[in-house]
Structure 1
Amino acid sequence: MAGQAERTAQSPWVERGARLGFVAKGLLYALVGILAIEIPLGLGGKTTDRQGALRTVAAKPFGEVLLLALALGLAGYALWRLVQAFLDRDDEGSGLKGLAKRAGYLARGVLYGGLSVLAVSIVVGAGSGGSSEQEETARVLDWPLGRWIVGAAGLGFLAAAGFNGYRAVSQKFRDDLREQQIDSAARPWVTVVGVVGHAARGVVFGLIGLFLVRAAYRYDSKEAIGLDGALRKLAQASYGSWLLGLVAAGLVAYALFCFVQARYRRL
């Protein structure tokens, strides 16, 4: 049984799914960033999240075909993360640190699996609507221990913000890449988009986490925000156009880093 699990975990199809998934993930981040960066440039645009990006794709010519391709990629990414979580593909172990990392893999697998399902549901006409972060948070707050669950989710986002900030400063993301296969002239640029992209994600996740914790503390679902809400908060701040533009550009940089990972990530 253990041998079968090992063969499943190391299947080349899992790796192919992960690489395709990085492309899909990059496309979503690119669309979110580009739509946001158009605002300070006076080109229209809007703040949106990954779910909104999928609906934007659906409205384009051949949108349904593109959505199905994205759904396939997101499903591949989710599969890889779930295999990491349940079959310990990366040998993280069952210690406290290993279990924490595997829990993170599980969370990402569920998130991107949900995005894949949403993409398919939009194509078949069942996903045109969607609950806001406030509505979803209100439902959770009504659960037993719901306030603690929302607070824990906020702390999780704050931890993710810190992790992304750490990776940006330490450049630990380079350890995940087969850098020797990247052209020597391109390597510095890969480092730049990795640093900028992780820093931008850190800012966005930090804002989401802070407002979720505040929603739990105040028992008020209206405090909760998602990715689009975090971008709106930046736009409303002092020098908001500059801040939004910088973070939006950072999300586009992260999209480019995802494309690099699609080819050069160690898997």
Structure 2
Amino acid sequence: MRHIYELYAKLKSLQYTADALNREGLKTRRGYAWSAATCHIILSSPFYLGTLCYNYRSEADKTFSFKDKSEWVLVPNHHVPLVTQAQYDYCQHWLSKNTKWTSKQYTQRAHAHIFAGLIRCGYCGALMSASQGKRRVNGYCPSVYICGSKRHHKGCHNKFTYDPEVGGFVFRYIANMMRLKEVFKPSMRDQQIARILTDGLPGVRIQDASSIAVLRRMLLTQSGARIYTRVHAGTQKQGKKLARKGRT
């Protein structure tokens, strides 16, 4: 999402931004090509600024449009932002100049659940089932996720959760991952990596050592530290040879 803001700030065109994303081979979350309308939805949303927003859309049967910003209900500092205030404000300035999209209507799925099919129960491993929650006083209607095993009366004691809670966790974890990429060093211990990933996520523990190993290899590759891996392996082999010579 940060990349979209950076592209738009540079190109100042929704269509050029969508074209650039498509040239890079990137897809939307649902696997579709990018369009100017899709970019506008993301760039207009304060969600990526760390703000939870209610009552910001007028919804028809199969379409929606954005309400006037004076009607929006905002909850600032709800989760870790992916863009800065300066980035967001700059993009809003250029969006307001491109007034072509201010009254645009967008198609939508009925009762779209953001994390449907992506969450599993931490107790029994069953897929979490999504359903529409009760509409709140401010008009917001959250998605509810409940363990599929519990829903079918199979004895799981896990509680349900709402998408604002899941969203807060996901964005915090993504922010932690981005921070880890910035501070990562080949000499970093597994415990340090796990500590950075779980920062601000009470009760979360990374117990699978193989997951840390996979993540370490990915970070080594992305940071251009593959030379370290070869040198480190060569040093180990040389050490073993010297040890064998010492014994003989």
Bigger relative contact order, structure 1 or 2 (CA pairs below 8 A, ≥6 apart): 1
Larger strand share, 1 or 2: 2
Give the TM interval when normalised to the shorter protein. Answer: under 0.3
TM-score (norm 1): 0.25
TM-score (norm 2): 0.27
Q: Which has the larger radius of gyration?
A: 2
Larger helix share, 1 or 2: 1
